[in-house]
Amino acid sequence: MAEYHTPEHHSPIRTPRQLVIVVVLAFAVPIVLIVMLTHLVTGGADTSKSNPGMSDEAIAKRLKPVGEVAVDPGQPGPASAAPVAVAAASVPGMPAPAAAKADAGKGKSVFDAACTACHTAGVAGAPKAGDKAAWAPRLKAGMEALYTSSLKGKNAMPPKGGNLSLADADVKAAVDYMAGLVK
């Protein structure tokens, strides 16, 4: 029988120089391909210069808030903005002191901001502003009792009408305003 001779497997890299060239190309070729691919995808240009949608003005317009808060200068500011002195409780039938008359504007603004939600419609048994029959027994108890129930809360009414940031003097001014509506 005849013997078959099989050739040995030979590598195409036969010298150290060829090995160095293959290693360098193994790193360089993928990097070059990646750079070329990104250049192709991005169009090869600076997108902020060529695309009008990417200009600074267009970006600022897209990021602009949808709405803005407009403050009416005619409305009263926060309740704690300016402290107001409230006159001592007046006796029914007696004329109000001058300081109480000066606070009538503050009392109305506090009423409009915090009290009107319940005392205009009579929510949860709240006496309606200006209803003499509903306010008569409360006024008979005295202003101090009204101040106490409005500051600490009574029945369904929370302390300070639910606005705990109000100063005690502001709440008393609102009570004086509502009491003045039925006198």
Report the alpha-carbon distance of residue 104 to residue 151 in Å, rounded: 18
| Rg, C-alpha atoms of the chain | 42
Cα distance between the two ends of the chain? 137
For 121-170, the pLDDT digits (tens) are: 777 778 888 888 887 888 888 888 888 888 888 877 888 888 888 888 88
Q: What CATH number has the domain spanning 98-182?
A: 1.10.760.10
pLDDT for res 101? 53
* Residue 72 Cα distances to 14, 61, 77, angstroms: 88, 26, 10
> Residue 80's pLDDT band (boundaries 50, 70, 90)?
very low
Q: Which of 33-37, 42-46, 159-163 has the lowest mean pLDDT?
A: 42-46
pTM value?
0.43
Could you give phi then psi for residue 96, rounded to 5 degrees? Answer: -75, 145
Residues 170, 110 contacting (CB under 8 angstroms)? yes
Does the pLDDT of residue 82 top 60, yes or no? no
Structural domain spans, the chain: 16-46, 98-182
Helix (H, G, I), strand (E, B) or coil at 172: helix
Q: What is the dihedral of CA 118, 124, 128, 131, to 10 degrees?
A: -170
Q: At what angle do helices 143-152 and 132-141 cross, to 10 degrees?
A: 100
Q: Check residues 130 and 90 and name the one with the higher pLDDT.
A: 130
Please provide the average confidence, as pLDDT, over all residues in the chain: 77
| pLDDT given for residue 21 in this prediction | 94
Confidence of residue 26 (pLDDT cuts 50, 70, 90): very high
CA distances from residue 168 to 126, 148, 161 in whole angstroms, order as listed = 20, 10, 11
In this prediction, residue 105 carries a pLDDT of: 75
Residue 83 clears pLDDT 60, i.e. is over it: no
Higher-scoring residue by pLDDT: 23, 4:
23
